[in-house]
Amino acid sequence: MTRPNLPSGSPTALVCAGCGHRVPENEPAPLACPHAVPGDDIDHVLSRLLDAARVGFPHGREANPFTRYRELFHAYHVGRALGWSDGDYVARVDGIDADIAGVDGRGFRVTPFSRSDALGERLGFSAAGGVLVKDETGNVAGSHKARHLMGTLVELEAGEALRRAHSPGGTAPGGTAPGGPAPGEPPPLAIASCGNAALAAAVVARAAGRTLDVFIPVHANPAVVARLRDLGARLTVCERDRGVRGDPTYQRMLHALANGAVAFTCQGTLNGFAIEGGATLGYEMVSQLAETGRRLDRVFVQVGGGALASAVAQAFLEARDLGVIDRLPRIHAVQTLGGYPLARAYDRVVARLGDRLRDRPEGGAIAGPLDLADPSVRDVLAFAARHRSMFMWPWAEEPKSIATGILDDETYDWLAVVRGMLASGGSPVVVGEATLLEANELARSATGVHVDPTGSAGLAGLMDLARRGDVRPDETVAVLFTGITRRFVTPAPRGATRALAAPLADLIDPDPGQAGERVADRSRVGDDPGDDRPDRPPSDPGEGPDRALRAVRGQPGDLVVQGPGVAGPMAGPGHGGHDDPVDRAANPGGLGLEVGLRRPEVGRPPAPPPVSRVIARAAPATEPAAVTIAALQPHPHDERAGRLLEHRVLHDRPLDTDHTLIPRTPSPRLGGA
């Protein structure tokens, strides 16, 4: 059979964001950049680009997002080039969806995105503003994760069809690994997860009749393990080796991929199409906003590995470049104090940008959206893409938090998320355990959605910014509820002295102790976090520049819930050890009871026109609307000259239901007057 060729100038292109490699249009698409070499320190992520001259934003009414937004998918254009009609493609996608519904009891449908009056009132928003909630708890497998993997499966099937067309006689040799097809059955799919991602992968793989290998940690919940086995997944338990950094399940998965398995994972570095599938969530938000005529000012996205935030950022960037929206909402990536590698990386990028922008007339302050096509900005991001280890490396300690779904040792899709925050004028937010718990309780009581602490972590980020006075009452903001509470019983870990059957609130102090040391004040953006220069790797490979919390982060080793922000007994006021626990210290000046400021400092990006992720159709008729920045609240050191960034304070106070978003004078306990 004649080898088919995709038309020159296809509406989609696959390009590595790290090295720039462009996948030939007439070849089956790999999931990852074929030029990636272990240890080359390049942030290889295969990205799908759109040609705005040939693609418009879909405005269909199909219930299934994978058919509604099909013209934005690379697989759709591959299928059309192979001779499929539009109806053929829709029938294939609907067939997969029906199989998924047969396994999980539900297929893919556009999920709710609406204003929560109760949540807005509790947080002090005015009638002109409000909080919109995107509820993913009713999606396939109970979270957003299946979106990423459905997009991957559709692309795999399109690649197999193209491979069959390439083979003599049109027969399919099987296999989809980047190294080429292998005879016999398709290779197994592989994922490293013990939660929502693993459950979603198992559902989708079972529906597709594909073998799935799941690499899980030793502490995986027995109920999750049982469900994975019910779905036919093959499980490998991976122990964490003492002194070895990085997630052991991820390392074992990499070994499997090297031996021919296919990355059925949500990390964009290993599976670029996971981002394309996840972008349907953002496309839905864009469509739903257009239907109501609302404009979104901010969106808060919880971040672990980064695929969700990367996908949401891509969706809004493409919607802007396709003319559906005229400006981006500020994108805020939310991480836990238990591990915040993305915020650490963002801080380092901002430090380098400050050095490059300081010679400009406006100086080095970053106070609004940046144009990613600006040569200075582009050069810094290109440098970061080719020197990954200077910005992103595994968290030195095993991350711990009640938001277990965002405890990745690394943010694998970090650079795409950083780009999204810079282009939108957003920033990362790091929150403590009490705020995470408080946000979850508020989310459940105000909305009635049974969201888990990971799924409501974005709301914790909103609460943190609101308490600083950085969010105005008339703003319209969005949060994503991304995972349902699962009725699982977690076994007590080795050496535990309390049963996990106790209510979570009983195990977490609402005003947890944190390190009392403040982050050194920056009088200019160019100062790098900690002592390391931004153009060199960390001086100590075992820890990053923001690791001053490490000395006081440890909690008594026999508690069930451990990690930063979790208060527990100690030997006495002023005593740093925890080998002989006694009753909690009552002295408010004692170690562990003072709220401190150990979190990454962030800068805000001036407001030139944002960069296009698609090939621009034409220059916009008007400039993007300016984004109003809330006034900074009073600060105890405002008398210092040359201050360009407000010092950020981590707030973990219980929620004040009468709280207003209007800036307040800082509390004395936070160092104010």
User: In this predicted structure, what is the pLDDT of residue 184?
Assistant: 61
Confidence bin at 352 (pLDDT 50/70/90): very high
Q: Which residues contact 149 (CB under 8 A, 6 or more apart)?
A: 197, 200, 201, 204, 205, 264, 266, 274, 277
Confidence bin at 164 (pLDDT 50/70/90): confident
User: In this predicted structure, what is the pLDDT of residue 242?
Assistant: 78
CB distance 604 to 551 below 8 Å:
no
Measure the N-to-C terminal CA separation of the chain; round to a whole number of Å: 79
Higher-pLDDT residue of 122 and 530 is 122
Indicate the SS3 state at residue 339. strand
Give the mean pLDDT of 151-171.
81
User: In this predicted structure, what is the pLDDT of residue 571?
Assistant: 37
510: left (phi over 0), alpha (psi -120 to 50) or beta: alpha
12-129+143-177+186-273, what's its fold?
Rossmann fold (3.40.50)
How confident is the model over 539-575, as pLDDT tens digits? 443 344 343 333 333 333 333 333 344 444 443 343 3
Least-confidence region, from 2-6, 280-284, 406-410:
2-6
Question: What DSSP string runs through 587-637?
Answer: -TTSTT-S--B-S--------PPPPPSSB-SS--SSPPPPPP-PPPPP-TT
> Given a cut of 90, is residue 138 above it in pLDDT?
yes
Higher-pLDDT residue of 672 and 168 is 168
> Given a cut of 90, is residue 41 above it in pLDDT?
yes
Angle made by CA atoms 450, 451, 457, in degrees to the nearest 5 = 155
Question: What DSSP string runs through 443-501?
Answer: HHHHH---B-TTTTHHHHHHHHHHHHT-S-TT-EEEEEE-BB----PPPPPTT-SS-TT
Indicate the length of the chain as a whole number. 673
CB distance 434 to 512 below 8 Å:
yes
> Given a cut of 50, is residue 485 above it in pLDDT?
yes
Q: What number of H helices and E strands is found in the chain?
A: 16, 12
Indicate the SS3 state at residue 47. strand
Question: What DSSP string runs through 465-476?
Answer: HHHHT-S-TT-E
How confident is the model over 592-602, as pLDDT tens digits? 333 333 344 44
User: In this predicted structure, what is the pLDDT of residue 369?
Assistant: 92
Give the residues across from 298 on adjacent strands.
Answer: 330, 477
CA atoms of 150 and 434, how far apart (whole Å)? 35
How confident is the model over 256-302, as pLDDT tens digits? 999 999 999 998 899 999 999 999 999 999 999 999 999 999 999 99
Least-confidence region, from 47-61, 81-95, 353-367, 382-396:
353-367
User: In this predicted structure, what is the pLDDT of residue 542?
Assistant: 39
Q: Which residues contact 74 (CB under 8 A, 6 or more apart)?
A: 12, 14, 29, 48, 155, 158, 273, 276
How confident is the model over 171-226, as pLDDT tens digits? 443 433 334 444 568 899 999 998 899 999 999 999 999 999 999 998 888 888 99
> Given a cut of 90, is residue 45 above it in pLDDT?
yes
User: In this predicted structure, what is the pLDDT of residue 291?
Assistant: 92
How confident is the model over 366-383, as pLDDT tens digits? 667 999 999 999 999 999
> Given a cut of 50, is residue 470 above it in pLDDT?
yes
Give the residues across from 189 on adjacent strands.
Answer: 212, 262
Q: Is the pTM of this model over 0.75?
A: no
CB distance 524 to 644 below 8 Å:
yes
Least-confidence region, from 7-11, 110-114, 294-298, 354-358:
7-11
Least-confidence region, from 205-214, 351-360, 413-422:
351-360
CA atoms of 435 and 424, how far apart (whole Å)? 25
CB distance 156 to 205 below 8 Å:
no
Confidence bin at 359 (pLDDT 50/70/90): low
> Given a cut of 90, is residue 582 above it in pLDDT?
no
Higher-pLDDT residue of 587 and 351 is 351
> Given a cut of 90, is residue 435 above it in pLDDT?
yes
Higher-pLDDT residue of 635 and 122 is 122
> Given a cut of 80, is residue 641 above it in pLDDT?
no
Q: Edge to edge, what strands does the sheet with 429-431 contain?
A: 113-115, 130-135, 476-481, 298-302, 330-336, 429-431
Confidence bin at 534 (pLDDT 50/70/90): very low
Angle made by CA atoms 302, 333, 482, in degrees to the nearest 5 = 20
Could you identify the residue written with the tokens 């067309």? 165
Least-confidence region, from 13-27, 134-148, 328-342, 438-452:
13-27
Confidence bin at 321 (pLDDT 50/70/90): very high
- Percent above pLDDT 70 for the chain: 67
Quickly count: other Cβ atoms within 10 Å of residue 332's Cβ.
27
Give the residues across from 135 on adjacent strands.
Answer: 481
Give the mean pLDDT of 64-83.
95
User: In this predicted structure, what is the pLDDT of residue 651?
Assistant: 43
> Given a cut of 80, is residue 487 above it in pLDDT?
no
Give the mean pLDDT of 417-428.
96
> Given a cut of 70, is residue 403 above it in pLDDT?
yes
- Radius of gyration in angstroms for the set of CA atoms belonging to the chain, rounded to a whole number: 24
CB distance 334 to 440 below 8 Å:
no
> Given a cut of 80, is residue 664 above it in pLDDT?
no
Confidence bin at 312 (pLDDT 50/70/90): very high
CB distance 613 to 318 below 8 Å:
yes
Q: Which CATH architecture has domain 295-488+498-574+589-598+619-670?
A: 3-Layer(aba) Sandwich (3.40)
User: CATH 3.40.50.1100 occupies which residues in the chain?
Assistant: 12-129+143-177+186-273, 295-488+498-574+589-598+619-670
The backbone torsions φ and ψ at residue 224, rounded to the nearest 5 degrees and listed phi first, read -65, -45
Q: Which run of H or E residues covers position 129?
A: none
